Chains A and B, each alone.
Chain A
Amino acid sequence: DAGVIQSPRHEVTEMGQEVTLRCKPISGHNSLFWYRQTMMRGLELLIYFNNNVPIDDSGMPEDRFSAKMPNASFSTLKIQPSEPRDSAVYFCASGKGAQISKFSYEQYFGPGTRLTVT
């Protein structure tokens, strides 16, 4: 089975440009998570969706960041305009999310997108 697919794997862009990261979750998973990882801040949750609906976006750094999940098999994370401090590895993960009485945090991560903003 294919795991979580992310594209691009590497992105180098100039400050001020728009960046779009893409994610295809594992089929059948109803939750999707976007994370950012840096040496300084570690692994941070940016936003997560359940059944395509954004549930918690409190980790989105500022209005320059936006995420969408138009259907169960696709999500995007957009940064506009990008800044050098956005340089990081961005991970997408999917999981089974909310179940009958408990929330499962079993997630499967993609390979990540390494973003460099110069």
Chain B
Amino acid sequence: LAKTTQPISMDSYEGQEVNITCSHNNIATNDYITWYQQFPSQGPRFIIQGYKTKVTNEVASLFIPADRKSSTLSLPRVSLSDTAVYYCLVGDTMRTGRRALTFGSGTRLQVQP
């Protein structure tokens, strides 16, 4: 089964760029890489999704190297409101053809003034 590895926590200051890297060595050919953000007492919120190279939206950028064994979520100029847990999600293809969705432990980002 594909497994993701992320740093447990990161600290930053307002206005800085934050890069969170996720390792997923066993990613399958047809899998997407998806990142979510979760604030306390709320459900996770979709941030960005990609398959290869680079994806950018109004919130973040996602960098995926050619081998797809890792991905980096980049948050430009973070603010205090970006303090949250960030999850990297990679779909599994199980032997039976079923797919599982596994949220790892996430990265707790703390942004300070």
Residues of A with Cβ closer than 8 Å to B?
4, 33, 35, 42-45, 48, 55-56, 58-59, 91, 93, 101-112
Residues in A with CB closer than 8 Å to B30 are 101-103
Q: A56-B98, A104-B32 are in contact. Are A43 and B44 (CB under 8 A)?
A: yes
B56, chain A: closest CB distance, angstroms: 16
| Contact status B34-A103, CB under 8 Å | no
Q: Which A residue sits closest to B102, measured CB to CB?
A: A45
Q: Which A residue sits closest to B43, measured CB to CB?
A: A109
A-B contact pairs, 21 of them (CB 8 A): A33-B101, A42-B105, A43-B44, A43-B103, A45-B102, A48-B101, A55-B99, A56-B94, A56-B99, A56-B100, A59-B100, A93-B43, A93-B44, A101-B30, A103-B31, A103-B91, A104-B49, A105-B32, A105-B101, A106-B34, A109-B44
Please report the C-alpha to C-alpha distance between residue A110 and residue B44 in the assembled complex, in whole angstroms: 9
| Contact status A107-B46, CB under 8 Å | yes
B89 within 8 A of A: yes
Q: Which B residue sits closest to A58, measured CB to CB?
A: B100
B45 within 8 A of A: yes
Please report the C-alpha to C-alpha distance between residue A103 and residue B30 in the assembled complex, in whole angstroms: 7
Please report the C-alpha to C-alpha distance between residue A107 and residue B102 in the assembled complex, in whole angstroms: 13
Q: Which B residue sits closest to A56, measured CB to CB?
A: B98
Please report the C-alpha to C-alpha distance between residue A78 and residue B43 in the assembled complex, in whole angstroms: 20
10 nearest A-B residue pairs (beta carbon): A109-B43, A43-B103, A105-B34, A56-B98, A45-B101, A91-B43, A102-B30, A109-B44, A105-B91, A106-B49
Please report the C-alpha to C-alpha distance between residue A105 and residue B49 in the assembled complex, in whole angstroms: 8
Given contacts A58-B100, A112-B43, 18 further A-B contacts (CB under 8 A): A35-B103, A42-B103, A42-B104, A43-B44, A45-B102, A48-B101, A56-B94, A56-B99, A56-B100, A58-B98, A101-B30, A105-B49, A105-B89, A107-B44, A107-B46, A109-B44, A109-B45, A112-B41
Q: Which A residue sits closest to B33, measured CB to CB?
A: A105
B43, chain A: closest CB distance, angstroms: 3
| Contact status B42-A111, CB under 8 Å | yes
Please report the C-alpha to C-alpha distance between residue A100 and residue B94 in the assembled complex, in whole angstroms: 19
Q: Which A residue sits closest to B90, measured CB to CB?
A: A105
| Contact status B103-A102, CB under 8 Å | no
